[in-house]
């Protein structure tokens, strides 16, 4: 089960090497995304999972809690 984190925790974890993944559609990523985030839209997650490092923590986000 994923651990819920806030903004400050996110910044600390990214500084420590965590991977930041936006799971929104690619066009929404292209408009605005968090610095350093990569795009792996939810619908393509299985197909693109090989691009995600399994040995580093992963942080996923979308627009909000919805």
Partner 1 sequence: MAPRAAARLQAMGFREIHEYKAGKLDWLAAGLPTEGANSQLPRASAAARKDVPTCGPDERLGDVRARSEAARWDAAVVVDESDVVLGLLRAMELAKGDDLRVAEAMRPGPSTFRPYVPIKEMADYMVEHKLESAPVTTSDGKLVGLLLRSEAVDLASGCEDCARKMISVAE
Which residues of this protein are in contact with partner 1, per CB under 8 A?
1-7, 9-10, 13, 18, 21-24, 28-37, 40, 42, 45-46, 49, 52, 54, 56-66
Q: In a 3-state reduction of DSSP, which class is residue 15?
A: helix
The CB-of-60 to partner 1 minimum distance in angstroms stands at: 5
Q: What DSSP designation does 56 have?
A: S
Give the span between the Cα atoms of 57 and 43, in whole angstroms: 21
Q: How far is the CB of 43 from partner 1 (least distance, A)?
A: 10
**Which residue, 15 or 63, has its beta carbon nearer to partner 1?**
63
How many Å apart are CA 61 and CA 44, to the nearest integer?
15
């Amino acid at each position: 089960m994923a651990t819920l984190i806030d903004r400050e925790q996110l910044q600390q974890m990214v500084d420590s090497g965590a991977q930041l993944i936006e799971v929104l559609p690619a066009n929404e990523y292209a408009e605005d995304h968090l610095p350093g985030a990569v795009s792996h839209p939810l619908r393509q997650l299985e197909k693109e999972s090989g691009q995600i490092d399994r040995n580093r923590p992963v942080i996923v986000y979308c627009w909000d809690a919805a």
